[in-house]
Amino acid sequence: TTEKNKYVSILLAIELIWNLCEVLFIDAAPAGSLLLHLLDWVRLHKSDVDARAREVLQSDSPAHHQSYWDVVISLVLQGRVDEARQVLSKQASLRAESSSVFKRMDVLLHTMPIFNPTGTQTLTEFDVKWRHWHEECDRCLQDNTFASNRHLETICKILVGDEDTILEQKELLSTWYHFLVTRLLFTHPTIKPPDLHYYAQVHTTSPILLSLRYCYTELKLVKNKYYLLFYFNSDKFIYLFIYFFLRVFFHLLAVDYFDHCPEFGRVYLELQIERVPLDTERKAIKVLRICEDRQMSEQVRSICKIMAKRALRNNRLGSALSWSIRAKDAAFATLISERFLQDYCNKGSFTDLDLLDNLGPAMLLSDRLTFLGKYREFHRLYGENRFSEAAKLLLSLMTAKIAPRSLWMTLLTDALPLLEQKEVIFSVDQTYELMSCLEELNSGTKDSSQTDQDEDIESTKTELLRLALARNLAMAIVKEGTIET
Amino acid sequence: MFVAKSIAADHKDLIHDVSYDFHGRRMATCSSDQSVKVWDKGDDGEWRCTASWKTHSGSVWRVTWAHPEFGQVLASCSFDRTAAVWEEIVGESNDKQRGQSHWIKRTTLVDSRTSVTDVKFAPKHMGLMLTTCSADGVVRIYEAPDVMNLSQWSLQHEISCKLSCSCISWNPSSSRAHPPMIAVGSDDSNVTYSGKVQIYEYNENTRKYAKAETLMTVTDPVHDITFAPNLGRSFHVLAIATKDVRIFKLVPLRRESANSSGPTKFEVQVMAQFDSHNSQVWRVSWNITSTLLASSGDDGCVRLWKANYMDNWKCTGILRGDGSPVNGSGHAAALSAVGVPGAAQMLVGATSAGRYVTVLSLKTYPIPKHNYNYLICYQ
């Protein structure tokens, strides 16, 4: 059990340091919130205050409890001013004659500005407000407002950040870092991470850095001793690590642990990883990489599908298509390709050109996607004036049956400008093929849902095409029949 | 050890069900005021109501989320004898600014002749399937053959349970070794059919569901039932909320001959039975890895149960449903639990007592050195 206890102490130390690392390095905290996080960190690791506070408040006469003032001061040291006020109010109700002094302290505590990172107040505004309040506290000290009560005087000195007074409370602070955080709270509440290093150095050079290194080293040790841990208490013990590290360095360590877990590691990882909220594309990609590295193909598919569906809902077709391709989801890719084509028909241009131009072999995932990619390629070739290549591609889309019948008319219409060029682009054979495509299209059953107007447009198009094709055929025959001299 | 956050749900009547979505970032509540509300958790950790609409013409008993692969889809069921499927549509930009979203009804399932008491989606590997159970004892399984079209559902199976049904649960296992399995709980006071939990299994040959097991030892009305996540085990674990909390282990027995037809036979073992709530237990819910079970009861408490490495189950925490000492008002009835990884807090569940929804989260506090077992248990 001594070995067990040793590991427990290591764990507790690790948790402490990890929380700090989280605050300093991981959380992308908005400006001004570092101190709030540090306070949270301190409160998290000094929970005996709550127990003592409960004890005091639940006693018959809280104000006369021997720990009463310790509790009030501890709460102030942790920046829990509202709770401190609550406990103080027990005192105030007792002594009527000194109640004005208590009221004064209550006001000081009540008006202490606490920065709200999610609020509308800027750091500068907060700083101004805080300085005013700080001066107010200082004035109370200068005026000897709290001279009649040494406890209140102490609290006021803490509020102005008096180093000696705060140091005097070392029994209540119990740790060096608590002292540092408290002092910062009452002297420099808007501190940023780089400044923290300076403060740490000023007070003492190494503890925080040493302890970070200690933690890392210990971790390495622990990491190498996986099997020893296992040996101790089965995978449930490891489970603690898993949850714990998941919080902080998920992609670095926790997953490693899962990998080494004998029985349930993989299953736990599979179950947990699919529940990670996919807030951003970046996060999704990070999670995906973990899954792909471990050939967790079902989880990969699922995550990609979820992202694709979400993108489609928000009409981000390009994103939806990328995700479907990554999910290897042919059905969904087909659906999205159809949407792209619909969009093209409505607007006359393609969106997400980057994606469509660089599909590569992914194009083959679904027929419709292949067509979409090739069709876009046709437009690109045309835009680059590479007409004969474009013509060849366009024709192949119909003859190789890659294009859906419903789009043939659109394709043939796209051929018109190529047919109208001065130079002959479509060869004789190609022209014959185009003609047969046109006739095949017209020989099909009439679409009953077409209106008269639509029918008119259709027949006009057909006429135009027939004319253009005939003209092109004539020119092509002449060109091919001419001997080059 | 836990932090409770109470949200004034603003429902005008009792809340009957609370349900987390797959990722634990959204929540749906339903009430006797005939409406469903959807809540979203913001980056600041606060829950905000992003939709509230009338869903039925009677009390809404349950609400449940489909897997996010199918989009943002909810199903609800009601005393009005119907179940409905809802889909969220992306609204106008000014709606988004106001933080509101719209849900539209995709279909109404009207086959039941009595109050529909539970509605659940089947595991996603079975496709998009919805299951309902009714007070008339019929379990209905519907399928949407085209997952892109949520207005087309066909009734695939009707299972007659002979007892008024109160709850259903699908076995989440996607293993080939386990055919689809559904557990049905009954709150019928009928004494002739005394076993109040039935297990039905899908038979590939007959293409029908057949009863595989009745848990005869469960004789009191059952309010909730839930299979634990499978973890690739060969056996199944089922938690039941009845007059107490019960956890059963169902071990499939090897078939005598390879060709034997008929449903799997099970050896049924009682893993645990707890009457700590000392009153009716209304809901049970597993965390993602089936290592923690949460139960809620008429005593207004949520209890957490965990097994140690020897499979001995014990209570690892008691959470007051309203975050304060029990004063006997209301019961923590509806409970939906999900363990969310990667978060500093493990969300235990949202319980509803009357018109408030309480979100309970476990905070990780340092554990006193001597209490070593606790160290294992609380995570």
- B285: closest CA of chain A, how far (Å): 16
Rg (CA), chain A: 37
Q: Range with the lowest mean pLDDT among A109-118, B228-237, B255-264?
A: B255-264
Closest to A429 (Cα-Cα) out of A397, A472, A484, A382: A472
Output the CA torsion sign for A117, A123, A129, A131. positive
Render pLDDT for B140-171 as a digit per residue (tens, 0 to 9). 999 999 998 999 999 999 999 999 999 999 99
Across chain B, what does the average pLDDT equal?
81
Which residues of B fall within a CB distance of 8 Å from A273?
A: 341
Judgement on whether residues A399 and A368 belong to the same structural domain of the protein: no
Which residues 277-336 of B have a C-beta within 8 angstroms of A? 288-289, 291, 308-309
Render pLDDT for B293-322 as a digit per residue (tens, 0 to 9). 888 888 777 888 888 766 788 887 777 655
How confident is the model at residue A97, as a pLDDT? 59
Q: Report yes or no on A288 lying in a domain.
A: yes
Judgement on whether residues A10 and A60 belong to the same structural domain of the protein: yes
Judgement on whether residues A148 and A215 belong to the same structural domain of the protein: yes
Q: Report yes or no on A311 lying in a domain.
A: yes
How confident is the model at residue A217, as a pLDDT? 29
CB-closest option in A118, A244, A278 to B44: A118
CB-closest option in A5, A118, A246 to B369: A5
Whether the Cβ atoms of residue B334 and residue B351 lie closer than 8 Å to each other = yes
* Shortest CA distance from B363: residue in chain A: A44
How confident is the model at residue B372, as a pLDDT? 23
* Shortest CA distance from B69: residue in chain A: A306
How confident is the model at residue A445, as a pLDDT? 66
Which residues of A fall within a CB distance of 8 Å from B68?
A: 306, 309-310
Fold of B14-91+99-160: Methylamine Dehydrogenase; Chain H (2.130.10)
* Shortest CA distance from B45: residue in chain A: A118
- Report how far residue A366's alpha carbon sits from residue A332's, in angstroms, rounded to the nearest whole number: 9
- Report how far residue A86's alpha carbon sits from residue B340's, in angstroms, rounded to the nearest whole number: 34
How confident is the model at residue B322, as a pLDDT? 54
Which residues of B fall within a CB distance of 8 Å from A233?
A: 309, 376
- A382: closest CA of chain B, how far (Å): 35
How confident is the model at residue A234, as a pLDDT? 30
Judgement on whether residues A373 and A392 belong to the same structural domain of the protein: no
Q: Is A154's pLDDT higher than 80?
A: yes
B95 touches chain A (CB under 8 A): no
Range of the domain at A244: 234-271
Which residues of B fall within a CB distance of 8 Å from A315?
A: 90
Judgement on whether residues A332 and A295 belong to the same structural domain of the protein: yes
Please state the domain count of chain A.
4
Render pLDDT for A307-328 as a digit per residue (tens, 0 to 9). 999 999 888 899 999 999 988 8
Whether the Cβ atoms of residue A221 and residue A232 lie closer than 8 Å to each other = no
Structure-model confidence comparison of residues A268 and B133, the more confident one? B133
CB-closest option in B231, B309, B338 to A267: B231
Q: Is B174's pLDDT higher than 80?
A: yes
* CA distance from start to end of chain B: 11
Which residues of A fall within a CB distance of 8 Å from B369?
A: 5, 8-9, 12
Structure-model confidence comparison of residues B45 and A306, the more confident one? A306
Number of Cβ within 10 Å of residue B248's Cβ equals 24
- Report how far residue A15's alpha carbon sits from residue A23's, in angstroms, rounded to the nearest whole number: 12
pLDDT class of B250 with cuts at 50, 70, 90: very high
Q: Do A315 and B148 touch (CB under 8 A)?
A: no
Structure-model confidence comparison of residues A98 and A285, the more confident one? A285
* Shortest CA distance from A267: residue in chain B: B231
- Report how far residue B37's alpha carbon sits from residue B117's, in angstroms, rounded to the nearest whole number: 19
How confident is the model at residue A136, as a pLDDT? 93
Render pLDDT for B265-283 as a digit per residue (tens, 0 to 9). 899 999 999 988 888 888 8
- Domain map of chain B by residue range? 14-91+99-160, 168-324+355-378
Residue that terminates a domain, selected from A332, A357, A383: A383
CB-closest option in A45, A47, A305 to B69: A305
**Model confidence pTM above 0.80:** no
Q: Report yes or no on A228 lying in a domain.
A: no
B343 touches chain A (CB under 8 A): yes
Judgement on whether residues A353 and A308 belong to the same structural domain of the protein: yes
**pLDDT, average across residues A390-398:** 90
How confident is the model at residue B366, as a pLDDT? 33
**B64 class by beta-carbon count within 10 Å (0-12 exposed, 13-18 middle, 19+ buried):** buried
CB-closest option in B232, B291, B342 to A276: B342
Which residues of A fall within a CB distance of 8 Å from B232?
A: 267
Q: Report yes or no on A412 lying in a domain.
A: yes
Which residues of B fall within a CB distance of 8 Å from A12?
A: 366-367, 369
Q: Report yes or no on A244 lying in a domain.
A: yes
* Shortest CA distance from A6: residue in chain B: B369
Query: What's the half-sphere exposure (Cβ side, CA atoms, 13 Å) at A355?
Result: 18
How confident is the model at residue A30, as a pLDDT? 62
Whether the Cβ atoms of residue B197 and residue B185 lie closer than 8 Å to each other = yes
How confident is the model at residue B259, as a pLDDT? 54
CB-closest option in B124, B338, B341 to A276: B341
CATH top-level class for B168-324+355-378? mainly beta
Judgement on whether residues A436 and A309 belong to the same structural domain of the protein: no
Q: Do B69 and A315 touch (CB under 8 A)?
A: no
Q: Report yes or no on A120 lying in a domain.
A: yes
Task: Looking at mean pLDDT, say which of A208-217, A221-230, B20-29 comes out highest.
Answer: B20-29
**pLDDT, average across residues A23-42:** 68
Which residues of B fall within a CB distance of 8 Å from A307?
A: none
Q: Do B341 and A47 touch (CB under 8 A)?
A: no
CB-closest option in A47, A309, A315 to B365: A47
Judgement on whether residues A249 and A330 belong to the same structural domain of the protein: no
Sheet of B60-65, strand order: B60-65, B73-78, B83-89, B102-109
Judgement on whether residues A68 and A15 belong to the same structural domain of the protein: yes
Task: Looking at mean pLDDT, say which of A455-464, B218-227, B341-350 comes out highest.
Answer: B218-227
Size of interface A-B (CB pairs under 8 A): 98
Q: Do B364 and A244 touch (CB under 8 A)?
A: yes
Closest to A254 (Cα-Cα) out of A282, A294, A284: A294
Q: Do A9 and B71 touch (CB under 8 A)?
A: no
Q: Hey, do B14-91+99-160 and B168-324+355-378 end up sharing a CATH topology, with the first three levels equal?
A: yes
Judgement on whether residues A257 and A281 belong to the same structural domain of the protein: no
Q: Do B372 and A8 touch (CB under 8 A)?
A: yes
Q: Report yes or no on A293 lying in a domain.
A: yes
Closest to A431 (Cα-Cα) out of A386, A400, A404, A466: A466
Judgement on whether residues A377 and A394 belong to the same structural domain of the protein: no
Judgement on whether residues A404 and A326 belong to the same structural domain of the protein: no
* Shortest CA distance from B92: residue in chain A: A314
Q: Is A131's pLDDT higher than 70?
A: yes
